Amino acid sequence: MTGVLHGVDFSGGERAGGKIWIATRAPGRPVTNERGFDHRSLAERIAASGGDGHRHLWRIDAPFALASETLASHAVPQRWEDASAWLASFATPREWRQACRAVSRREPRRRADRAARTPMAPSNLRVFKQTWTAIVRVLAPLAARGVRIEPLAGPADARVVVAEGCPASVLHLRGWPTRGYKGQGDPPRRVRERIVDHLREEGLDLPPRIAAAAIDDPEGDALDALLLVTDPVQTVIPVEALVEGWVY
């Protein structure tokens, strides 16, 4: 790993301050994990991170783009800038989803979703708020400030890079437990303990307090943020990713 790696367990809710976790892994330092950010303060934290002279990669657990099929069905040009502007033309994520369903009830998956085995499509009922809010309130403002939105927008040599991540994809890729770690009681807690052990074997320096918080969190949000500071897999992206995004 080079530079500083951040993992963000994101929430698309209006009152997201208690739900957004940011894990940070810097060379030679223990991993940190904190929460208490809303969408604006998250964007500010990302934009300001490059001020320390280091390169920063932020992986956020939210869809960064829409399926080409969705854009085509609404006559939106196949460019991320046009897609983000189209999303921003709706006052709320629910208005956007209603507009989508007025045209088609299909929920197209991206090539990135199939490749990374993400659980749901960007317009899915359980994900659409994440998609709209991440793009409209976080990514588009960051792109306007010169942050690289990989591989969709911004300067390729930017010191701060934001990329889509998915905890479920990390678990699938490494062969770790993909289900059963969220919930109250002993069985889910034991699964969280196993995943924390795997993270340490992966090389993450997890202080006891950080590990305990991830194990004690029944919703799995703290653990999801930690999964996103594992080393990203190097890959050659297909041409579709320049419109639909890619999961790293």
Residue 12 contacts residue 132 (beta carbons within 8 Å): yes
Q: How far apart are CA 121 and CA 108, in angstroms?
A: 6
Asked whether 107 and 131 are in contact (CB, 8 A), the reply is no
* Kind of pairing between the strands at 32-37 and 20-25: antiparallel
Question: What pLDDT score was predicted for residue 1?
Answer: 54
Cα–Cα dist 187/210, whole Å: 20
Positive or negative, the CA dihedral 212, 220, 223, 154 is: negative
Per-residue pLDDT, 15: 72
* pLDDT tens over the chain, length 248 residues: 579 999 999 998 877 667 899 999 999 999 999 998 999 999 999 999 999 999 999 999 999 999 999 999 999 999 999 999 999 999 999 999 999 999 999 999 999 999 999 999 999 999 999 999 999 999 999 999 999 999 999 999 999 999 999 999 999 999 999 999 999 999 999 999 999 999 999 999 999 999 999 999 999 999 999 999 999 988 899 999 999 999 99
Q: Is the pTM of this model over 0.85?
A: yes
The pLDDT assigned to 17 comes to: 65
